[in-house]
Structure 1
Amino acid sequence: MVQEIIRYWNYVFTTKLPKHIRKWVDEHMNCEDIAMNFLISNTTRKAPIKVTAKKKFRCPECVNTEMLSADLTHMIERTQCINYFTEIFDEMPLKSVEFRADPVLFKDYFPDKLKRFNNVGML
């Protein structure tokens, strides 16, 4: 079921997302997650989803300046993405929501071998 949903939204992203947005994402190598949330929110008229790691990865001794997020302009560019995508969609489809489903708050006590996705949140 989950695989079908992922396939469906990948198909919609590839075929129905405005070409200007796909071009922006390809040229900037950034904002594909924002574009997907714009697409889903615009289609479903529901709040977007945000998927992040359970724990923030920290590595003080790592010096990888090739990461996109290491560039100081990364967050500025993501703001530009939101502004540009809003212009293309002719509205702001992202809705505010006051709900948080935090995996830390919803611990289950099943053995790892019985969990279907036992590596979720692990780095």
Structure 2
Amino acid sequence: MVGFVSRGHDWSRKKRQFHYRSNSHGPYSLILTGASFIHKYYYYAYTFELPYEIYSAVDELMNCEDLAMNMLSQQIAERGPYRVFSLTRFSCILCKGGLSMKSNHYRVRSACLTNFINIFGYDPLKFSSVIYKSR
């Protein structure tokens, strides 16, 4: 997966769960799918090969489908994502609010990460620090 907006995750020993984090610097393990490129096979795999429990969680929360896609694509490819650095910032001028504006956003995303990793049986996400620069 190649994209412009990256995020990361780490394990919290204290809380005994994975923690979703926004990071603009340093290693990352997730690419937000709103501005990304991915091979069409991963859409097939997402539709037909993803465990049912993950579909149920995504439908119930109406959230975390991008986390599931990152996990699935990295499990299949056996490599981490690639971030493209852009001089232009991505923002939605017409957007007044979204899931990421809710106060529980990071808590929900962290719970999704922990749940999905438990369903997968291991953490398929791979860290990357590769950044390609665009013009």
Using the aligned pairs only, state the percent identity.
32
Task: State the one-letter code of the partner of 2:65.
Answer: E
Separation in 2, partners of 1:93, 1:78? 16
Three-state SS of the structure 2 residue aligned to 1:101 is strand
Q: CA shift at 1:75, angstroms?
A: 1.4
Q: Which among 82, 89, 104 is matched to residue 55 of structure 1?
A: 89
Q: Which among 25, 32, 36 is matched to residue 58 of structure 2?
A: 25
Separation in 2, partners of 1:85, 1:39? 10
How large is the RMSD of aligned CA atoms in angstroms? 2.8
Q: CA shift at 1:50, angstroms?
A: 5.6
What stretches of structure 1 move > 4 A for 4+ residues in a row? Answer: 49-54
TM-score computed with the length of structure 1 as normaliser: 0.67
TM-score computed with the length of structure 2 as normaliser: 0.62
Question: Structure 1: which 5+ residue stretches go unaligned?
Answer: 108-123
Alignment-derived partner of residue 82 in structure 1? 113
Task: State the one-letter code of the partner of 2:51.
Answer: P
Q: CA shift at 1:48, angstroms?
A: 3.1
Question: Structure 2: which 5+ residue stretches go unaligned?
Answer: 1-36
- Greater RCO (Cα-Cα under 8 Å, separation 6 or more): 2
Residues 67-106 of structure 1 aligned to structure 2 (within 5 Å)? 67-103=98-134
Identify the structure with the greater helix proportion. 1
Three-state SS of the structure 1 residue aligned to 2:91 is coil
Q: Does the 8 A contact of 1:47 with 1:95 survive in 2?
A: yes
